Chains A and B, each alone.
Chain A
Amino acid sequence: MKTAANLNIVSCSRCAALWKAVKAGDRCGCGAKLHVRKPDSLRRTWAFVIAACILYFPANILPVTVTTSFPEGEQQDTIMSGIIYFWVSGSWVVAAIIFIASFVVPLFKLAVMILLLITVQRRSNWQLLLRTKLYRAVEVIGRWSMLDVFVVSLLTGLVQIDGFATVYPGPGIAAFAVVVILTMLASMSFDPRLLWDAAERNPEVPM
């Protein structure tokens, strides 16, 4: 199958117009700089993914909320203990929603991004279509991990009854928010066309 790259055509990342005979530094009619692929895609994506992996630990170990309520006293909750609280108290639907948004999605995202990066660098042509679809899935679901950040923010704003119940944000939520932002930046800087380029350059199986 013909691709824009092997016909020496460059497509604009903003308005999707196609141009041929493009020189370095040329701009599209819409004003965007033209690049054959997203610039430094692999390096940038790796940087965001590694930073997100490092911050993933404080995000899950440090408390995200500190609740003070009148008879019970002070209680610190991490993301996991919050999910367990919902599960034990019988709100299974909410427990499942937070479990997916705050635990499954970030892990799935990091795993998929690492898989995509490694397979591109190994010039793999394994399950190309599936990997493209995984990338699209990651782009769509990644934002939903922000759920816990909004929950903590709303609780902090709402539960401020001095002496009876107050909720304070814990340091874990800042780390978690940064993890979500970093994974979003990682999937944005990754160029899915590299998957197809890499497979094309694979010497073993001709496309």
Chain B
Amino acid sequence: MQRIPDLIACEDCDAIHSRPAIDDDEVALCTRCGAELERDIRAHGNRLLPLTIASLIMYVVANVFPIMEIELHGLSSQTTLIGSVLAMNAKGMYVVALLVVATTIAFPLVQLLVLFHLIICVRRQANPLGFNFLVRMVQTLRPWIMLEILLLGAIVSFVKLTSMATVVPGVGLWALGALALLLASVFSFDPRYMWSMSFLHGKASKATSVNRTRTAPSIEKAAKAKGS
């Protein structure tokens, strides 16, 4: 088994390209199917730590404070994120309650903490125990974190309830909005670059002798507002 550092394969169509030299803010795209091959992450890599810390703070606020409060005939009722999950559980919807806990409470927290740990380790040029496992976990959890969808769900619920009661958005809802925005920025960093940033694997990827004879990918400027 032998590693080939100077080539890159498209994840969507398997076409082989020579590994491009990428400048600031550039993205290399596959010439056959247009999928992203590689992008410049140096600038974003520096923003990742502050973004992760901000997300962790917002996560706490979004979970501690109530999302919404309704008032009807002088009676009021409010809920936090975990409160709605417990209500679902109490009504016998164990599967759905578990799903909501996982996608909006447990996975985001684990993801942010692990990411924080990994960034610190990469910055210190240290390779923590289980580095590979942790990066793979970050990759696996990513599609299952659905806070932005929860935010839209909260807005829809809000509109739905305005017709039957007085609805007051809580601090949790605003924090959830901020958290969704922050996470979109955090998740635009593809965790697979953790490996090229880390100390162990960094040496291998720096030793690139670019082979220009093969099909070169088209290199395009990264769109400024590209989300996750």
A-side residues, CB < 8 A to B, are 1-5, 7, 9, 11, 14-23, 26, 29-32, 69-70, 86, 89, 91, 94, 97-98, 101, 128-129, 132-133, 135-136, 143-144, 146-161, 164-165, 168-169, 173-174, 177-178, 181, 184, 188, 192-193, 195-197
Evaluate contact between A3 and B77: CB separation under 8 angstroms: no
Evaluate contact between A158 and B136: CB separation under 8 angstroms: no
Q: Mark B117-130, 1 if CB is under 8 A from A, else 0.
A: 00000000000000
Tell me the bound Cα distance from A98 to B5 in angstroms.
Answer: 46
Q: Mark B135-170, 1 if CB is under 8 A from A, else 0.
A: 110010001001001101110110111011100000
Evaluate contact between A165 and B1: CB separation under 8 angstroms: no
Evaluate contact between B73 and A164: CB separation under 8 angstroms: yes
Evaluate contact between B95 and A156: CB separation under 8 angstroms: no
What are 23 A-to-B residue pairs whose CB atoms are below 8 Å?
A2-B16, A4-B16, A15-B135, A17-B5, A29-B3, A31-B132, A69-B164, A132-B33, A146-B103, A146-B149, A149-B153, A150-B146, A153-B97, A156-B87, A157-B80, A158-B68, A158-B70, A158-B84, A161-B76, A165-B165, A169-B93, A174-B96, A196-B13
Evaluate contact between B16 and A160: CB separation under 8 angstroms: no
Evaluate contact between B152 and A147: CB separation under 8 angstroms: yes
Q: Which of B16, B78, B83, B159 contacts A94 (CB 8 A)?
A: B159
B-side residues, CB < 8 A to A, are 1-5, 7-9, 11-16, 32-35, 67-68, 70, 72-73, 75-80, 83-88, 91, 93, 95-97, 99-100, 103-104, 132-133, 135-136, 139, 143, 146, 149-150, 152-154, 156-157, 159-161, 163-165, 192, 195-196, 201, 204, 214-215
Evaluate contact between B133 and A31: CB separation under 8 angstroms: yes
Evaluate contact between B146 and A146: CB separation under 8 angstroms: yes
Evaluate contact between B70 and A193: CB separation under 8 angstroms: no
Q: A150-B154, A157-B83 are in contact. Are A1 and B96 (CB under 8 A)?
A: no
Task: Return the chain A residue nearest B163 by Cβ.
Answer: A89
Q: A23-B1, A149-B96 are in contact. Are A165 and B149 (CB under 8 A)?
A: no
Q: Which of A14, A101, A156 contacts B88 (CB 8 A)?
A: A156
Task: Return the chain A residue nearest B151 by Cβ.
Answer: A150
Tell me the bound Cα distance from A23 to B103 in angstroms.
Answer: 37
Evaluate contact between B99 and A181: CB separation under 8 angstroms: yes
Tell me the bound Cα distance from A133 to B5 in angstroms.
Answer: 28
B22 to chain A, nearest CB (A): 14
Tell me the bound Cα distance from A15 to B76 in angstroms.
Answer: 51
A177 to chain B, nearest CB (A): 5
Q: Which of B8, B75, B146, B215 contacts A18 (CB 8 A)?
A: B8
